[in-house]
Amino acid sequence: MVEKDIKEKILSGSYAINDKLPTESAMMKTYQVSRYTIRRAISDLENEQFIYTIQGGGMFVDDWQKKIRQEPLENKQIGVITTHIANYIFPNIITGIDRYISNEGYTILLGNTQNDPEKERTSLEGMLNSNISGLIIEPTQSALSNPNKDLFDQLATSKLPTVFINSHYPNLKFNYIEMDDVASGKEATDTLFAMGHKRILGIFKIDDSQGVHRMNGYINSYQTHSQYSYLSEIVMYQSTDNLHALFQRIETIFRREDHPSAVVCYNDQLAIQIMDLIRTLNLKVPDDISVIAFDNYQLSKYIAPKLSTVQHPKEKMGRQAAKMLFDLMDGKKVPPYIKYEPEVILRESTRKIN
């Protein structure tokens, strides 16, 4: 407990490099433990180069970041933190990363945040303490205030080569690769307008920047088709919301006599659930309601009807993120970001109407 707490305070910047730590007696009082326990924790932290002691002078925070700067290639591991690992599009992204870095003789150290800021914090602390050579990260709940900014600031100070994927924090100066989600949201909605739809429902998750940007693209499309703007309708939700309540609200919209003729969904995973809901209401996709979404999830072309979607490069993103990271590690000049332009894939879930 003592070692973990002191280490977290060092990694978060609460104790800065060369700060003097409290005395053994003060720590005994703070943590309510014996002197032996304190000395054992101090010894472990000293061995890990988090602190150093001066005879008769006390204990101080060591330059723990020098481990990263001086020995970046020793471990030959690349850290990868994503919001999910085993489901949806993430296995494809991780495969792209792994194929590139394994060709370079490196292995992956994976961290899974499950889109939880506390788990992101744990993953970041673990990576900062693992002597990795570089880090690829998908931020958690990227549209909300960042509770882990102190650790990201420490990451920037450490000079550890880092690349963000899928989204990024605008106030942090890291390289990133992502979809142009605003353009994607507009393109998907424009496609429905071109098919004759005017009353289009948008359903977007708003605690990550992808969802917010896709929603902004939807709004931009209605601004372009301003004569129909009064027919627009948006349902917003967050990861922590009660999904039963969310689907009840959407069901109420679909049961209306003037229900929308089309839906733009935050992603394919949500769209598949929305299509199931439409069927339970004895409505048909696309005869009664057209559905379009984002990411070109692997199952999207195998469900009935096959889902119209906006392409996500997935494995290509993984490979390019890994290449960008290795270029940073090699000191090469790299672009600050890469954005993929939208590519709409029309399948059976959308149709033209009069």
Model pTM score: 0.81
List, in order of start, the domains of the chain with CATH numbers: 2-64 (1.10.10.10), 74-179+315-340 (3.40.50.2300), 181-312 (3.40.50.2300)
Structural tokens at position 123: 């993953």
Tell me how far apart the alpha carbons of residues 64 and 51 are, in angstroms, rounded to a whole number. 8
pLDDT at 69: 53
pLDDT at 35: 86
pLDDT digits (tens, 9 = 90+) for 67-100: 555 554 456 999 999 999 988 999 999 999 999 9
Tell me how far apart the alpha carbons of residues 320 and 247 are, in angstroms, rounded to a whole number. 37
- Tokens 């929308």 correspond to 260
Element at 89 (helix H, strand E) = none
Phi then psi for 264, rounded to 5 degrees? -105, 120
pLDDT at 3: 87
pLDDT at 132: 94
pLDDT at 73: 45
The list of the chain residues with pLDDT below 50 reads 72-73
Phi then psi for 109, rounded to 5 degrees? -110, 110
DSSP 8-state class, residue 234: E
Give the mean pLDDT of the chain: 93
Structural tokens at position 44: 């472990």
Cβ–Cβ < 8 Å for 272, 307: yes
What is the full DSSP assignment across 113-138?
Answer: -TT-HHHHHHHHHHHHTTT-SEEEEP
